[in-house]
Amino acid sequence: MKIKILICMGTSGISAGAEEVAKIFESELKLKKLMDKCRIIKVGDRGLFRDTLVDIITPELGRVTYEYIKSEDVPKIVDEHLLKGKPVEELRAGKDYEQFFSGQIRIVLSNCGEIDPEDIDDYITHGGYNALQSVLSMVPEKVIDEIEKSGLRGRGGAGFSTGLKWKFCKNAKSNMKYVVCNADEGDPGAFMDRSVLEGDPQSVIEGMIIAGYAIGATEGFIYCRAEYPLAIKRLEISISQAREKRFLGDNILGSEFSFDITIKRGAGAFVCGEETALLASIEGRRGMPRARPPFPAQEGLWGKPTLINNVETFANIRHIIIKGAEWFSSIGTDESKGTKVFALAGKVKNTGLVEVPMGTTIRELIFGPGGGMVKKKIGLKGVQIGGPSGGCLPETLLDIPIDYESISKTGAIMGSGGMVVMDEKTCMVDIARYFLSFTVEESCGKCIPCRVGLKRMLEVLEKITEGKGKEDHISFLKEMSTTIKHTALCGLGNTAPNPVLTTLKYFQDEYLTHIRDLNCPAHVCVELIEFEVIEEKCVKCGKCYEACPVDAISWKKKEYPKIDKEKCIKCKSCINACDFMAIK
């Protein structure tokens, strides 16, 4: 057996310098004549941000993981580990790394960070395309039956039964049908689809081919956002490799079934994640949603029945086919089966992609894989879940299980799985304003509630964060929210008020403090900050002094810092740097 060297090279890894690390490994192996004994495998990101992650797998020592690897560490690893058989202890991944992965069940992410996404043979060695082969000997109805029985629900946000959707498409009568993979992933705070596309693109392609077979489609499209160049590149490579192996193209694996896939690059419009807008965009038009029904399953691309599913949904398919509906439905809760991938970010120690069974609580996620808060002195305030369509939940609600229904009951939604942890330094009014400014920017302008209503709400939220709020603004926001929710044309407008409604529901006091006391308790809203040191809280550490880019802070050891308001440009570097919230 060859020694395997896995280097994580997704967008995160590459930005941390993984390409350089890989190059040095290659030259070191050449120099030390180890080339024939070792194989370097460039894998996707594993979901944990640790600069460059490197695994060395030898017959004697098994797998050893190194984290935060820089190119200068490489010679040492080669000398000690590969030549002398002694792992470099000080570079090994620590307890946080272990904690991050324990408690996860990785189905969708099972190959991410394990296989070379640009090598179809590696995918096949790991069981790839077995599902397609068994599907080709089944009747389409049986395939759909299996997916329906598994209880899989769409991972793109709304959670509609995947099996049912497939059935509708199958039953639609037409000479032409399409399969579309929604890889637009526009929710700020979500990046699981990108990691799957970068780390295991073949699994998505295999899921699409199976769907095509089941519903009777011959053409597929992957609509991928332009901001994901690496994902697009790997999809292109994967599609051409799949064609070479005859998993795509005419008479797939010698059967009667033909299917091929085209990639469509988005052009930067969040609303194109909405399915009818996405179809308009593929057709080459402005991506504006239309009223449903007819649903895409009846009238989709160029008026033909079209199945549209999310990346993560497709990535689940092959596992269900191989291991069976029963296995899949044994994971999760009564109504929500399987696992969900969350993009954990914000003020937690371990940020990254976490795949857990449905029914896990949010708190378990934060304090298990997440490793708890980054700054111990600054308390957990809540989480934002579901992006701009979701909501903010307070700390007291974090013991609810993660499943579609429980989360909807709180006023948030599961959405695509973004989860941003917020501490006392996060201002909830500012968060509501932030999401609304996003949806206002991204509103396509077709319907009035969304185009005008959201804008009016944003204006009011801006007033509140600038200290010009009035008490009746709160009832105004509530009324507008309800109206927009019920009257907007598409999901963007229907859900855009959720961040405002949930912050009003759980954090109304914070709104009132802004309005009545002209005070932002989190010290975020710049108009309400005086830029003064609170001496009772200050520990005289000097971090603010170091962070100030314009030398407006004077400080000496063991003394309180002083802020020169003439020089201060209100950039908040000092506030962001302070661990004690001692600048107000």
Partner 1 sequence: MKVNLSDTRKIIQQYRNKKGTLIPLLQEIQAIYGYVPKESIELISKELLIYPVKIYGILTFYTQFYLTPRGKHTIIVCQGTACHVMGGKDILDYLSNKLGISEGETTKEGMFSLERAACLGCCGMAPVVVIDNNFYGMCDIQKVDALVKEYRSKEANR
Binding residues (CB under 6 A) for ligand FMN: these are 154-158, 160, 182, 184-186, 271, 273-275, 308-310, 313, 416, 490-492
Residue 190 contacts residue 342 (beta carbons within 8 Å): no
Torsion angle of C-alpha atoms 225, 228, 229, 233, degrees rounded to 10: -90
Binding partner selected for residue 12 from ligand FMN, partner 1, none, CB under the kind-specific 5 to 8 Å limit? partner 1
Binding partner selected for residue 387 from partner 1, ligand FMN, none, CB under the kind-specific 5 to 8 Å limit? partner 1
Q: Give Cα separations from 538 to 473, 534, 535 (angstroms).
A: 35, 6, 5
Q: How far is the CB of 419 from ligand FMN (least distance, A)?
A: 16
Q: Determine the Cα–Cα distance for residues 396 and 382; give it in Å rounded to an integer.
A: 8
DSSP assignment of 462-497 equals HHHHTT---THHHHHHHHHHHHHHHH-SSHHHHHTT
Q: Based on CB atoms, which residue is closest to partner 1, 195 or 336?
A: 195
Binding partner selected for residue 14 from ligand FMN, partner 1, none, CB under the kind-specific 5 to 8 Å limit? partner 1
Binding partner selected for residue 302 from partner 1, ligand FMN, none, CB under the kind-specific 5 to 8 Å limit? partner 1
Q: How far is the CB of 208 from ligand FMN (least distance, A)?
A: 11
Binding partner selected for residue 31 from partner 1, ligand FMN, none, CB under the kind-specific 5 to 8 Å limit? none
Q: Based on CB atoms, which residue is closest to partner 1, 14 or 131?
A: 14
Three-state secondary-structure class, residue 50: coil
Q: Based on CB atoms, which residue is closest to partner 1, 85 or 229?
A: 229
Q: How far is the CB of 136 from partner 1 (least distance, A)?
A: 30
From the list 220, 157, 230, 227, the residue with the least C-alpha distance to 197 is 230
Binding partner selected for residue 264 from ligand FMN, partner 1, none, CB under the kind-specific 5 to 8 Å limit? partner 1
How does 13-32 read in b/e, with b if 16+ C-beta sit within 10 Å? bbebebbebbebbeebbeee
Parallel, antiparallel, or unpaired for β 380-385 and 54-58?
unpaired
Beta strand spans in 9-139 (E): 38-43, 54-58, 62-66
Distance of CA 497 to the CA centre of its chain: 21
Q: Based on CB atoms, which residue is closest to ligand FMN, 275 or 299?
A: 275
Q: How far is the CB of 401 from partner 1 (least distance, A)?
A: 23
Q: Based on CB atoms, which residue is closest to ligand FMN, 186 or 359?
A: 186
Binding partner selected for residue 73 from ligand FMN, partner 1, none, CB under the kind-specific 5 to 8 Å limit? none
Torsion angle of C-alpha atoms 147, 331, 417, 363, degrees rounded to 10: 170
Tokens of 365: 């996620």
Ramachandran assignment for 3, one of left (phi > 0), alpha (psi -120 to 50 degrees), beta (any other): beta
The CA-to-CA distance between both ends of the chain, in Å, stands at 61
Q: How far is the CB of 305 from ligand FMN (least distance, A)?
A: 15
Q: How far is the CB of 285 from partner 1 (least distance, A)?
A: 8
DSSP letter for 386, please: S
Q: Based on CB atoms, which residue is closest to partner 1, 4 or 265?
A: 265
Q: Determine the Cα–Cα distance for residues 225 and 173; give it in Å rounded to an integer.
A: 31
Q: Determine the Cα–Cα distance for residues 42 and 584; give it in Å rounded to an integer.
A: 47
Binding partner selected for residue 439 from partner 1, ligand FMN, none, CB under the kind-specific 5 to 8 Å limit? none
Q: Based on CB atoms, which residue is closest to partner 1, 259 or 435?
A: 435
Binding partner selected for residue 343 from ligand FMN, partner 1, none, CB under the kind-specific 5 to 8 Å limit? partner 1
Q: How far is the CB of 271 from ligand FMN (least distance, A)?
A: 5
Binding partner selected for residue 544 from ligand FMN, partner 1, none, CB under the kind-specific 5 to 8 Å limit? none
Q: How far is the CB of 154 from ligand FMN (least distance, A)?
A: 2
Q: Based on CB atoms, which residue is closest to partner 1, 402 or 422?
A: 422
How does 52-81 read in b/e, with b if 16+ C-beta sit within 10 Å? bbbbbbbeeeeebbbbebebebbeebbeeb
Binding interface with partner 1 (CB under 8 A): 11-12, 14-16, 48-49, 185-191, 194, 226-229, 264-270, 281-287, 302, 343, 345-347, 351-352, 384, 387, 418, 420, 422, 426, 431, 434-435, 438, 441-442, 444, 547, 549, 569, 571-573, 576-577
Q: How far is the CB of 82 from partner 1 (least distance, A)?
A: 29
Q: What residues pair up with 346 in beta bridges, in sequence order? A: 421
Q: Based on CB atoms, which residue is closest to partner 1, 143 or 428?
A: 428
Q: How far is the CB of 369 from partner 1 (least distance, A)?
A: 13
Q: Determine the Cα–Cα distance for residues 147 and 542; give it in Å rounded to an integer.
A: 59
